[in-house]
């Protein structure tokens, strides 16, 4: 058997030593700021998306927003927060990087590094606070039945993590097993016990001051009680370089979030809205699996498959203004090579591809919704 890399040998550095490329105050996108000029065609598409969201809200249907990290790195958090606060969004789903950049902005007001330069020096992604706090938050959240996203959101909201004692965890684990009530939460307690024992993490309240708490979407979602789910890839994100990273904890949190996401997708039928911004892999992949699971349940219980829902897909790749209501494009059309659009189109919803910068989209959408 191949021996795994020993992360304990990795030197972790404090975030204060990192040269940050982005400052939250400098990129801050105010929800009411003046929008840039966009084409009449794009504006009509945004108006259609807005109309669908308003209709979904009136019907009590889900409005799911998914995105990668770039909209956060472009300063879009305040606009997404406004969409949540004003009741337009019921579920936010992001990849691992979307959660990490969101947390770093909340924690120190800065994020992002020079990947080429720092990889060459062995410092890329080896930032102690990011790996330590996020991994610990997810491990603790699992013992409370929380998913990845809610675990991080709770940490930001409370500005702390409560770390149980080893003795308390041992007592609870033994009690669970003795009473035959062994569950995922029991497994989470075992993972957390292993983590705090291995690294001698003291019990008690670990204070973590988030200087820009209000900038965080995870914070806003947790505070408002809406779903914020994280859908990571193992090894994709910088938290995996940290010795605190625990596969059981991360996997459990991610699966909890996937099932939460699938439940939201299962309720899209007859008026729901799914908006995917700049996520060409994570978003369509988790969507198609969730859609298949939902239809499996519905059709095996004498219900109609999910239908009549809106899919808004936003990216900057040219699709030649292809009308997706006509079906999949021919091979000589640029849209044929938008694999993510084809994946969404095959799901059966009413697909609209909006070729636009994510800042222009989210800002114009919010202002259109508020009219």
Q: What is the CATH number of the domain that holds 323?
A: 3.40.50.10690
pLDDT exceeds 80 at position 125 = yes
- pLDDT score of 333: 85
User: How far lies 196's CA from each of 140, 176, 189, 199, 243, in Å?
Assistant: 10, 20, 10, 5, 12
Q: Are residues 104 and 130 in contact, defined by beta-carbon separation less than 8 angstroms? A: yes
Which domain does 70 fall in, by range? 38-369
Which residues have C-beta within 8 Å of that of residue 139, sequence separation ≥ 6?
Answer: 188, 191, 192, 195, 244, 246, 249
Which residues have C-beta within 8 Å of that of residue 238, sequence separation ≥ 6?
Answer: 100, 124, 125, 126, 127, 130, 131
pLDDT by residue (tens digit) across 77-95?
A: 999 999 999 999 999 999 9
Distance between start and end Cα atoms, the chain: 62
pLDDT by residue (tens digit) across 242-267?
A: 999 999 999 999 999 999 999 999 99
Three-state secondary-structure class, residue 92: strand
Query: E strand or H helix at 219, and its extent?
Result: helix 217-224
pLDDT exceeds 90 at position 339 = no
- pLDDT score of 332: 86
pLDDT by residue (tens digit) across 23-55?
A: 999 999 999 998 889 999 999 999 999 999 999
Please report whether residue 333 resides in a domain: yes
Structure tokens of 314? 């936003």
Please report whether residue 127 resides in a domain: yes
pLDDT exceeds 90 at position 108 = yes
Please report whether residue 98 resides in a domain: yes
Give pTM, 2 decimals: 0.96
- pLDDT score of 41: 94
Please report whether residue 338 resides in a domain: yes
Please report whether residue 25 resides in a domain: no
Q: Are residues 93 and 261 in contact, defined by beta-carbon separation less than 8 angstroms? A: yes
> 266-280, 334-348, 351-365 — which is least confidently predicted?
334-348
Structurally, the chain folds into a number of domains equal to 1
Provide mean pLDDT across the span 6-18.
Answer: 95
pLDDT exceeds 80 at position 8 = yes
Please report whether residue 21 resides in a domain: no
pLDDT exceeds 90 at position 318 = no
Work out the pLDDT band at 336, boundaries 50, 70, 90: confident
Work out the pLDDT band at 2, boundaries 50, 70, 90: confident
Handedness of CA 52, 294, 227, 358 (dihedral sign): negative
Work out the pLDDT band at 21, boundaries 50, 70, 90: very high
pLDDT by residue (tens digit) across 146-201?
A: 999 999 999 999 999 999 999 999 999 999 999 988 889 999 999 999 999 999 99
Work out the pLDDT band at 320, boundaries 50, 70, 90: confident
Provide mean pLDDT across the span 215-225.
Answer: 98
Please report whether residue 91 resides in a domain: yes
- pLDDT score of 180: 85
Q: Contacts from 360-363 at CB under 8 Å and sequence distance 24+?
A: 360/35, 360/36, 360/38, 360/42, 361/46, 361/277, 361/314, 362/29, 362/71, 362/76, 362/79, 362/80, 362/83, 362/277, 363/29, 363/31, 363/33, 363/35, 363/76, 363/79
Please report whether residue 3 resides in a domain: no
């Amino acid at each position: 058997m191949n021996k795994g890399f020993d992360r304990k040998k990795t030197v972790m550095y404090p975030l204060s030593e990192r040269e940050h490329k982005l400052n939250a105050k400098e990129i801050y996108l105010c929800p009411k700021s003046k929008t840039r000029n966009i084409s009449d065609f794009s504006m009509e598409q945004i108006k259609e998306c807005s109309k669908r969201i308003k209709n979904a809200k009136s019907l009590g249907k889900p409005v799911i927003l998914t995105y990668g990290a770039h909209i956060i790195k472009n300063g879009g958090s305040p606009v997404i927060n406004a969409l949540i606060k004003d009741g337009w969004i019921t579920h936010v789903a992001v990849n691992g990087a979307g959660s990490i950049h969101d947390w770093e902005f909340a924690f120190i007001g800065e994020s992002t590094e020079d990947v080429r330069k720092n990889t060459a020096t062995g410092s890329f992604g080896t930032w102690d606070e990011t790996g330590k706090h996020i991994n610990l938050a997810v491990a603790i959240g699992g013992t409370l039945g929380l998913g990845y996203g809610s675990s991080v959101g709770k940490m930001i909201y409370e500005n702390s993590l409560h770390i149980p004692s080893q003795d308390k965890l041992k007592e609870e684990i033994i009690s669970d097993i003795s009473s035959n009530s062994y569950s995922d939460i029991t497994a989470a307690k075992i993972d957390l016990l292993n983590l705090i024992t291995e690294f001698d993490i003291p019990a008690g309240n670990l204070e973590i001051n988030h200087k820009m708490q209000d900038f965080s979407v995870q914070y806003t979602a947790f505070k408002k009680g809406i779903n914020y789910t994280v859908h990571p890839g193992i090894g994709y994100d910088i938290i995996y370089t940290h010795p605190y990273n625990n596969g059981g904890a991360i996997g459990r949190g991610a699966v909890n979030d996937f099932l939460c996401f699938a439940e939201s997708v299962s309720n899209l039928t007859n008026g729901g809205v799914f908006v995917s911004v700049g996520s060409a892999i994570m978003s369509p992949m988790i969507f198609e699996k969730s859609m298949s699971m939902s239809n499996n349940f519905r059709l095996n219980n004498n219900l109609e498959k999910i239908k009549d829902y809106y899919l808004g897909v936003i990216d900057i790749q040219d699709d030649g203004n292809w009308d997706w209501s006509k079906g999949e494009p021919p091979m000589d059309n640029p849209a044929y090579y938008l694999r993510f659009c084809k994946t969404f189109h095959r799901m059966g919803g009413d697909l609209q591809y909006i070729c636009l910068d994510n800042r222009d989209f989210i800002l114009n959408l919010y202002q259109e919704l508020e009219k």
